[in-house]
Amino acid sequence: MASSPFYVSVLYPNRAQSRSVENEMPTAYCVKCKTSIEIKDPQNVTLKNGKPAVKGVCPNCGTSVFRIGKA
């Protein structure tokens, strides 16, 4: 079976529209605030092993935050 948007919309009606990562603000967990926050000034980085990551600053306290796996 071919993977097309039609099959996805029929099988999974809630997933009909694919989510764009570029339009979403990246989130991370701030250890100092002990909550999940939207990263201020996000920067896409690549780790030594090739995995994508996002680093930035917590808008509440200014602590640097890091999220592995989303770029």
Give me the residue spans of the domains in the chain: 21-68
Dihedral of alpha carbons 26, 40, 38, 35, sign = positive
pLDDT (0 to 100) of residue 11: 61
Which 3 state secondary structure label does DSSP give 39?
coil
Encode the chain (71 residues) as per-residue pLDDT tens digits.
Answer: 555 555 555 666 665 454 444 567 899 999 999 999 999 999 999 999 999 999 999 999 999 999 998 76
List the 64-68 sheet strands across, edge first.
40-46, 52-57, 64-68
pLDDT (0 to 100) of residue 2: 56
